[in-house]
Amino acid sequence: QVRLVESGGSLVQPGGSLRLTCQISTRTFRGYILAWFRQAPGKGREFVAASWGDGGTAYADSVKGRFQVSLDDIINTRFLHMSDLKPEDSGLYYCAARGGGSGYYTEVSDYDYWGQGTQVTVSS
């Protein structure tokens, strides 16, 4: 069983930056595909970014150049660095994990484990 706990969500002004954290309770990230999703009120959960074992990363077009994922294997933590935030980036951000596979996946149903979410609000 893999447990994911997100933190770091906050209220931030447009143009600001924020770093989200996902603590992962597994002995190693290896073999897992890790992703971030977000969900705005009244909308479906959408793919934001993913990372996988050989250093591969992928981003939704809407966040390319502004968001970046990073990992710290020593403390089993994954980060989502967000910059130049816009009001449309607001939502509940989730980290997700999938055991195995090739490349990355962008559908909610592709992931086996989910955190509880952390709220990001971009507003002046």
Question: 78-93 pLDDT, tens per residue?
Answer: 999 999 999 999 999 9
Residue 45 has pLDDT above 90, yes or no: yes
Residue 23's DSSP bridge partners are 5, 77
Q: Other C-beta atoms within 10 Å of 86: how many?
A: 14
- Label residue 100 by pLDDT band (50, 70, 90): confident
* Alpha-carbon gap, residue 39 to 52, rounded angstroms: 22
* Alpha-carbon gap, residue 76 to 92, rounded angstroms: 22
Three-state SS at 96: strand
- Label residue 28 by pLDDT band (50, 70, 90): low
How much is the pLDDT for 71?
86
Among residues of the chain, what percentage have pLDDT more than 90?
74
Q: Note the residue count of the chain.
A: 124
